[in-house]
Amino acid sequence: MDFLHIPTPARWALHLESHLDKILLDHTHWEKESARMCLNLLLAYCDNEELSKAMTAMINDKLDRFQANRELLKSLGIQFQRIQPTGYDRRLKELIINKEPHRVVDRLLVTALIDARSNERFSVIANSCEDAKVAKHYKTLANKDRENYATYIDLASGYMDEGHVFERLDELANYEATLISDGGGKPRLHS
């Protein structure tokens, strides 16, 4: 995660306890959205065997997490419901260049950034949450999820030289840092 330009601001962790239900709901929905992003990559670039295998594994993992998060919500007495996203991922996706191979590289790098930020937030939740069950759940996620974002970067390097990939990742990470430092008005996983 060395490529994230800023760490999660302390104010996000301070709001964790008072808005835990919204953050957990948002994360549950995020796992579903993340699986959809992987499926879209798989469908668009199924000719790439390495990408196909990686996306298939990630889709299954993310859907398993979606279900595990639903079970966690249920055990905490939080009703699963729709929740308004912040637009964090939508704003990152607006930077994707539409011409190939830049498009596939950007899609993979945006997904890597989002996964890296998620992983960082999992660690914050694991270390800050007073509820032992929630902290344990997120510690497991943080440990398990640590290298997903590296997979996306490796796959991007299969489409363009590594120098360009890391230069572009730096540009995207700079923009992602502005989104994180501005924060969102809503307490969410990526606000």
Per-residue pLDDT tens digits for 78-137: 999 998 878 888 999 999 999 999 999 999 999 999 999 999 999 999 999 999 999 999
pLDDT at 1: 56
The tokens describing 140, both together, are 């497991």
Per the structure, the complete domain to which residue 20 belongs is given by: 10-182
Number of other CB atoms surrounding residue 59 within 10 Å: 18
146 class by beta-carbon count within 10 Å (0-12 exposed, 13-18 middle, 19+ buried): middle
Residue 39 has pLDDT above 60, yes or no: yes
* 97 torsion bin: left (phi>0), alpha (psi -120 to 50), beta (else): beta
Query: If pLDDT is split at 50, 70 and 90, which confidence band does 55 have?
Result: very high
Residue 3 lies in a domain: no
Domain of 37, CATH number, reads: 1.20.1260.10
Residue 143 lies in a domain: yes
> How far, in Å, are 28, 54, 57, 72, 126 from residue 64 at the CA level?
11, 15, 11, 12, 19
Residue 2 lies in a domain: no
Residue 36 lies in a domain: yes
pLDDT at 17: 83
Residue 187 lies in a domain: no
Residue 102 lies in a domain: yes
Give me the number of domains the chain comprises: 1
Tell me how far apart the alpha carbons of residues 3 and 157 are, in angstroms, rounded to a whole number. 15
Residue 115 lies in a domain: yes
Residue 184 has pLDDT above 70, yes or no: no
Residue 54 lies in a domain: yes
Tell me how far apart the alpha carbons of residues 156 and 81 are, in angstroms, rounded to a whole number. 35
Tell me which of 56 and 12 has the higher pLDDT: 56
The tokens describing 41, both together, are 């990559």
